[in-house]
Structure 1
Amino acid sequence: MSGLQHDSASPVEIQLHAVSQLLEIGYDDGASFSLPAEYLRVYSPSAEVRGHGVGNEVLQVGKKNVAITALEPVGHYALKIVFSDGHDSGLYSWAYLYELGVKHDQYWQDYLNRLAAAGASRE
């Protein structure tokens, strides 16, 4: 895999593990990721989370126990994820889910650092 050239990768398997709350996605290029519900929720691509421009992101707190209650395909390009806290406005493109998988460790640490800096909690 060179860089993040995954715009053409398509999922061949999507499975939600209800107990562990992991969304498992396998792509046609052989990549496979297990993405926790909390991680998906705090990195929602919605305007509510991302804000309306760089620097306007809204830090998500208290999402440690959030669950995925529904998955809805959107055309052939994205997944709408419905969370137990009522959030359902983010459309996760196949490319964005791939990016979240590839950069999981980096993004998760960044989130934990931002929580700490804000004196906020996952609880």
Structure 2
Amino acid sequence: MKKLSQGVKVSGHWPSELRLRENGRILYIHFEAGGEYALAAEYLRVMSPSAEVQGHSAKDRVTIGGKRNCAVIGVDPVGSYGVRLSFDDMHTTGIFTWDYLFDLGAHFSEKWAAYEAELKAKGLDRDRSGQA
């Protein structure tokens, strides 16, 4: 792992392809060292690394429902370490680093199961907007 001049850590997870598919409903990413993922916009939105979603600690994390049909409408590079995704609900904060995108793809099953359990526990669902 190396550091960029601003102190951002960069690992070996470098994308060789990053492409929006299905009208922004899927972000396809292929990594040079292995791993390719088709990540749904809904998944990316509810797992946004922004402080608005993640909070400033684990207890501050917000569970967001009603994003089943969201789409990514913009992908903007941020330095050499990631991208800023813009969603059709106008959410644009949070930088998706290559490491974070790799982690989201590699651990999709566990993360998605935890998200669905949070929705159920908080009386939310994928179609009804709101947050607990």
Query: TM-score normalised to the size of structure 1?
Result: 0.92
Unaligned 5+ runs, structure 1: 1-5
SS at match of 1:55: helix
How big is each residue's C-alpha offset from its partner over 1:18-56, in whole Å with a ceiling of 9 and x where there is no partner? 337110100011211110000000000000000111211
Check if 1:17 corresponds to 2:21.
yes
In the TM superposition, structure 1's runs of 4+ consecutive aligned residues that sit over 4 Å from their partners are none
The change in CA–CA distance for 1:96 and 1:23 in structure 2 (over 3 A counts) is: same
Return the alpha-carbon distance in structure 1 between the equivalents of residues 107 and 13 of structure 2: 16
Name the stretch that deviates more: 74-83 or 11-20: 11-20
Counterpart residue number, 2:50? 46
Pairwise mapping of residues 19-34 of structure 1 onto structure 2 (< 5 A)?
Answer: 19=23, 21-34=25-38
Return the alpha-carbon distance in structure 2 between the equivalents of residues 22 and 79 of structure 1: 15
| Percent identical residues | 38
Unaligned 5+ runs, structure 2: 1-9, 128-132
Counterpart residue number, 2:116? 112
